[in-house]
Amino acid sequence: MTSALYVGEVTHRRVADFEHALRYRLYMLLVDLDEAASLTGRLRWLSGRRLGLMSWRAADHGDRSGRPLRAQVEGHLAAAGIDIAGGPIRLLTMPRILGYGFNPLSVYFCHRPDGTLAALLYEVTNTFHERHSYLVAVPEQVTGPIRQTADKRFYVSPFLPMDLTYDFVVRPPGEAVSVVVKVRKGGAPVLTATFAGDRRPLTDGQLLRAFVTHPLLTWKVIGGIHWEAVRGLLKGARYRGRGKPPVEPVTVGRAV
């Protein structure tokens, strides 16, 4: 079983225009898409239905069409000239809690059959329930943290302009995982967001412990987003209107 639970914290720090920082405790699932059905079938506290103490459904991700999620991801990979030849695809994401789910960022780790990483797909969802992804290939023989970059193409925060660049620094799931997103305008830093967590086995006991120690996780995430927005406004944040989302569902970035 390669699926797991990662418990840690998320941090944001903005340095451009005004200073703002936050830190929240958080946990995420690592779901191997080939194990998903067996996970929700054997775990009491992780349901495959919409409702439940915790739940995870493939239909909450991708284009929400109900098409197999693995096939959707493989289609994006193929369009970018990446062939994983049936290798594992593992998704780092939050479950629904008591029926409610919201994931600002979920990450797909797309592996070659030998287990090495071939690509990362960053799935971004805004509070308007729009979605866009950034896909970046991972060169063979890479060692250490994975460094990637992509130009921003999708509206997320009303307090950030569109002419920005994302720099990703990722340590793939092992005994720990971390995802760092550094946002910059040209060479000037704007914001840094991170998630770092330690691995725990994906068992009913660990799920229940996470639920109790991090109550109403996804509800707090969406509430926290709006609360932090109010704090930003009080600090003089400039509101920017939302344009139309990109026509293409995926933007391809590059390795650094």
Q: What is the pLDDT along the chain (256 residues), one digit of tens a residue?
A: 799 999 999 999 999 988 889 999 999 999 999 999 999 889 999 999 878 899 999 999 999 888 999 999 999 999 999 999 999 999 999 999 999 999 999 999 999 999 999 999 999 999 999 999 999 999 988 888 999 999 999 999 988 999 999 999 999 999 999 999 999 999 999 999 999 999 999 999 999 999 999 999 999 999 988 888 888 888 888 888 888 889 999 999 999 9
Residue 129: CB atoms within 10 A of its CB come to 8
Q: What is the DSSP string of 132-189?
A: EEEEEE--TT--SSEEEEEE--S---TTS-SS-EEEEEEE-SSSEEEEEEEEEETTEE
Residue 170: CB atoms within 10 A of its CB come to 22
- Let me know: does 225 contact 231? Beta carbons within 8 Å: no
Structure tokens at 218: 């996804």
pLDDT at 236: 81
User: How far is it, in rounded angstroms, from Cα 160 to Cα 30?
Assistant: 29
- Let me know: does 29 contact 56? Beta carbons within 8 Å: yes
Structure tokens at 11: 């941090």
Domain ranges of the chain: 4-255
Give the phi and the psi of residue 224 in degrees, each rounded to 5. -65, -35
207, with CB counted inside 10 A (0-12, 13-18, 19+), is buried
pLDDT at 106: 98
- Let me know: does 5 contact 93? Beta carbons within 8 Å: no
Q: Whose CA is closest to 216, among 104, 98, 60? A: 98
Look-up of token digits 């193929």: 78
pTM, 2 dp: 0.95
Cite the beta strand spans of 66-130 per DSSP E.
89-93, 96-97, 105-111, 117-125
